[in-house]
């Protein structure tokens, strides 16, 4: 199997991971599509340097988070994405209004955090062990614990408001 | 919403996301081919055109410099040429700074640090370009008027009055622009402090 076919299989298997990162970092539907494609492009560019000893999800999260952070800092590039309407629209199935509302609140809380905190909370919510969060982010395991404590407090404060 | 509730909701959402697989092989292929990135590079076209315009104008002034026959027109000519050379350098280096981050090799923390430093530099460069652009407006007008229409507008027009009126508006605009620049710098520095602390 050639490298492109292997890469495509990996992306197909892990598209949910990319979608989760995009949902946290992009604010509009257009940004979601643009960021989604930028992440896939960066993953492809970095794929030859991927070492098989690392977990694929660790590597993907690292590239996806690095790309998203850069995306936040760059000037907007409206209209540069491929027209793939409908790809990233739904984060819930069916027409469940209560769920939609809950999901909106969830993203609302996360989007008020800074770029570093968004990355950490995303990995925490995704049930990644502290060791993996540390490997992806470059913070120490202890530091992750401290930061999560601060994030929890921030979210509690947001809820109280 | 408590954090545990957030975690439960996130888990349920993740399962639903997994069910919605929409990517096809051809779509992924399209995303990783040059087509998409060519589109992004095409967005650098305004910067390229602007830079060429600046360099063209600077060369036009230099080739016709002998026509600027008074000390103040020569002074304006030299200042214009220097600024016209400096602006493209600032603009392109600002973009390259933001592109220099190693997405594949960095950890998330390293990228955040690098992007925050780049952002700070980027805004400083934008600020410098803004100042230079304002000076250029003042010095380029009499130079081009002399070179294109052979008129010394310091003598034939009430140029100083126009400068005084323009300055009042420009001052208000500059204050508004710098407020936004300073906000961006403060955000970048806040992030740096948090990461380094």
Q: Residue A70 and residue B101: Cβ atoms within 8 Å?
A: yes
pTM over 0.80: no
Residues in Cβ contact with B179 at an 8 Å cutoff, skipping those fewer than 6 apart = none
Does residue B59 register a pLDDT over 90? yes
Query: Of B2, B103, B119, which is closest to A67 when you measure between CB atoms?
Result: B103
Q: Please, which pLDDT band fits residue B102 given cuts at 50, 70 and 90?
A: confident
Burial of B40 (0-12, 13-18, 19+ CB in 10 A): middle
Using a CB-CB distance cutoff of 8 angstroms, which residues of chain A are in contact with residue B12? Answer: 99
* Summary mean pLDDT of chain B: 82
Residue B174 domain flag? yes
Best to test chain B binding among A70, A99, A159 (most B CBs inside 10 Å): A70
Q: Which one of 3.40.50, 1.10.10, 1.25.40, 1.20.58 gives the CATH number of domain A94-161?
A: 1.10.10
Does residue B19 register a pLDDT over 70? yes
In angstroms, what separates the C-alpha of A53 from chain B's closest C-alpha? Answer: 15
Q: Please, which pLDDT band fits residue B41 given cuts at 50, 70 and 90?
A: low
- What per-residue confidence (pLDDT) applies to B192? 78
- What per-residue confidence (pLDDT) applies to A55? 86
| Domain assignment of residue B76, given as a range | 52-196
Closest of B5, B103, B99, B112 to residue A120, by C-alpha: B112
Cβ burial B145-165 (10 Å sphere, 16+ → b, else e): bbbeeeebbbeeeebeeeeee
Average pLDDT (B32-54) is: 71
Element (H, E) at A30: helix A29-46
> Into which CATH architecture does domain A1-76 fall?
Orthogonal Bundle (1.10)
Complex confidence, ipTM = 0.80
Can you give the pLDDT of all 161 residues of chain A as single tens digits? 688 889 999 998 888 899 889 989 988 888 888 888 889 989 998 998 887 777 898 999 999 999 998 776 665 454 455 655 555 545 554 557 777 788 888 888 888 898 899 999 999 999 899 999 999 999 999 999 999 999 988 888 887 77
Does residue B46 register a pLDDT over 60? yes
Per this entry, what is the length of chain B?
A: 197
Which structure tokens are listed for B144? 């081009």
Burial of B37 (0-12, 13-18, 19+ CB in 10 A): middle
Domain spans, chain A: 1-76, 94-161
Q: Per the structure, how many domains does chain B have?
A: 1
Using a CB-CB distance cutoff of 8 angstroms, which residues of chain A are in contact with residue B107? Answer: 62, 136-138
Q: Is B107 on the interface with A (CB under 8 A)?
A: yes
Q: Is B31 on the interface with A (CB under 8 A)?
A: yes
Max mean pLDDT among B30-39, B88-97, B109-118 falls in B109-118
Instruction: For residues A9 and B25, give the distance between their C-alpha atoms in angstroms, rounded to a whole number.
Output: 8
In angstroms, what separates the C-alpha of B119 from chain A's closest C-alpha? Answer: 7
Percent of chain B with pLDDT over 70: 91
């Amino acid at each position: 199997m050639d490298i492109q076919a292997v890469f495509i299989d990996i992306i197909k298997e892990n598209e949910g991971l990319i979608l989760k990162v995009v949902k946290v970092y992009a604010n509009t539907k257009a940004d979601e599509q643009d960021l989604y494609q930028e992440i896939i492009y960066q993953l492809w560019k970095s794929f030859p340097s991927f070492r098989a000893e690392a977990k694929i999800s660790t590597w993907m999260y690292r590239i996806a988070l690095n790309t998203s952070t850069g995306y936040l800092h760059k000037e907007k590039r409206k209209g540069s994405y491929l027209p793939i309407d409908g790809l990233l629209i739904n984060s819930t199935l069916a027409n469940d209004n209560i769920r939609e509302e809950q999901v909106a609140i969830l993203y609302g809380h996360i989007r008020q955090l800074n770029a570093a905190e968004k990355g950490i909370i995303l990995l925490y919510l995704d049930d990644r062990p502290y060791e993996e969060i540390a490997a992806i982010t470059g913070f120490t395991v202890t530091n992750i614990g401290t930061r999560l404590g601060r994030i929890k407090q921030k979210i509690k404060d947001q809820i109280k408001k | 919403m408590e954090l545990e509730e957030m975690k439960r909701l996130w888990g349920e959402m993740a399962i639903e996301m997994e069910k919605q697989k929409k990517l096809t092989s051809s779509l992924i292929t399209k995303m990783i081919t040059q087509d998409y990135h060519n589109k992004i590079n095409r967005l650098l076209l305004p910067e390229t055109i602007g830079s060429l315009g600046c360099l063209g104008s600077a060369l036009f002034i230099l080739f016709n410099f002998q026509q600027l026959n008074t000390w103040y027109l020569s002074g304006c000519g030299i200042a214009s040429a220097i600024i016209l050379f400096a602006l493209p350098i600032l603009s392109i280096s600002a973009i390259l700074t933001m592109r220099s981050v190693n997405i594949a090799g960095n950890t998330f923390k390293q990228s955040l640090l690098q992007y925050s430093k780049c952002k700070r530099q980027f805004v400083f460069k934008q600020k410098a370009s803004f100042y230079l652009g304002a000076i250029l407006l003042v010095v380029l007008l009499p130079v081009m008027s002399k070179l294109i229409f052979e008129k010394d507008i310091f003598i034939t027009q009430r140029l100083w009055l126009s400068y005084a009126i323009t300055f009042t508006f420009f001052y208000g605009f500059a204050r508004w622009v710098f407020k936004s620049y300073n906000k961006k710098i403060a955000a970048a520095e806040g992030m740096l402090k948090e990461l380094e602390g």
